[in-house]
Structure 1
């Protein structure tokens, strides 16, 4: 009888450990540039490019007991076209005319996206930091800017794919909006 109780307790313990394992997530965030941008472009043509200079698509882990198997990724081939589209829309809202081959070029560089879970084995709190760089080149001048956004959030349970998509989308939206709200950048075009 005592042996059966010990086996039962061991099975419950092992089952609870297995429940702490979190599966990997491949995020597909949808950043959106805010609407409160200054209309300063006067129809000037600007060529815009988005480049991903991260060393890996892995932005972090979901945490938990087996964090090495709970990676969170944002693929370059998913995020670059979305940021490109949003950058072109932002320039249009500002009165510029996105046009490839223009003598004025804006390159937006994804420097980093970092997802950090809490130190707890339950991984219910997390923070996300995104860093973008902007390089503007005109026939007469060059401007370089660096922009970041960080947000922390608590979750009642480990965040789902949908929650993490929304979480990372918000941070990317904030940092991309910061790029286009930079009066030094828009004033240099």
Structure 2
């Protein structure tokens, strides 16, 4: 198997191998999110490598199976220790993210069996919204798209996207929820507003 060798010139004139750098907290959280969703390791590797863009190569693009194993262990998501009940596993993962403080990608979480009267979500509603600090900085032009039937729970995956400087779509926030009605999307957008304030954009594209 071929290994890519990328060299960066440091301020001292020495060469620094990208492969020797550590994954950032945001990138580890992104991979942990995919693991928590049950995405196979090979698919995670493919998704990450396909996200490479000219001039934006990062350590995460050299993601290896060992990196995934380390992240699975770090976030307590490995099969040997994760709780067999998916809802409990998600709850444990969210609590783990809360320990990261401002670096946590979780901007909103409501488990089924709990209530959020302030947002008028019922006990049967489930919602988790994710947005990293890097994604917050990218949110300019705003597009939104939802898919459903992506897992056995039939949850909707709503993705908020922007367009980067290369004209490519760049996801800036994710929301897994039981519904995509006005009530649920209002909660999602309000959490984003708490992170970004008012978004001044000339373009908004829905999936309708």
TM-score > 0.5 by shorter chain: no
Q: Normalising to structure 2: TM-score of the pair? A: 0.24
Larger strand proportion of the pair? 1
Which fold has the larger relative contact order, with Cα–Cα distance below 8 Å and residues 6 or more apart in sequence?
A: 1
